[in-house]
Amino acid sequence: MNITLILTLTWSDIQKEYEHQVIHAVESAELPGFRKGKAPRDLVEPKLDKNQLYSRCIEALLPAVYSEEVKKANLKPILYPKIKVIKGEQGQDWQFEAITCEAPVVTLTDYQTKVKAVKTDKPEDRLPAVLKVISDTSKVELPPLLIEEEVNHRLANLTDNLTKLGMTTDAYLSAKKTTPDNLKTTMTAESTADLTMEFILQEIGKVQKLSDRTQVLDFLKAL
């Protein structure tokens, strides 16, 4: 399941960081008639973008607050958090919602007995059949955020590849005779299946004290 944390930045900390950002901006400013960094603050500061400065404050302060909350809750996130502003008024503490997730819980059945019972006509067909049996008989609770991030990653990769080929997304969808919604549905199903299998293999590797995916697959082939 997803994990939601509420993060708070105190107004005093924001003010201190804002002052730091202003000083840095003044030291980097270039105004006509002044050497770089030598223009007086009272001329530079009115020209600064306050929204941009506050964004930099958040970028500077929030990671430490997030890490502290993760430590307090004894969490082990596997994704960077998705951040949403809850409250951000001047003169008051700011609050943010951070959504992340941990690795899913994997429950293995008596997979070795089931794997040994798998029979196929061709040797090359056995491993896919073994993996299907393991997937069908194991339980993996995938966090929705993990699936969402994997789908977004695959869609981004698809877009990049289409761009390299000089093909538009619309042209690709037309060639595949599908729609954006159907494509996302397909990718969600594929992502769910692939993530499920990867975590199952990781769990088998942990139980059997195998160091990598290749060793886990070799172990399964030998059953």
pLDDT tens digit sequence for 24-66: 999 988 888 888 888 899 899 998 999 999 999 999 999 999 9
Contact (Cβ atoms closer than 8 angstroms) between residue 168 and residue 162: yes
Fold exhibited by the domain 2-101:
Alpha-Beta Plaits (3.30.70)
**pLDDT at position 5:** 97
Note the pTM of the prediction, 2 decimals.
0.81
**pLDDT at position 1:** 82
**pLDDT at position 172:** 94
The two tokens of residue 83 are 């951040």
pLDDT tens digit sequence for 126-182: 999 999 999 999 999 999 999 999 999 999 999 999 999 999 999 999 999 999 999
CATH 3.30.70.1050 maps onto the chain at 2-101
User: 114: which residues sit within 8 A by CB, 6+ positions away?
Assistant: 133, 134, 137
Q: Give how far the C-alpha of residue 44 lies from the chain's centroid of Cα atoms, to the nearest Å.
A: 38
pLDDT tens digit sequence for 180-193: 999 999 999 999 99
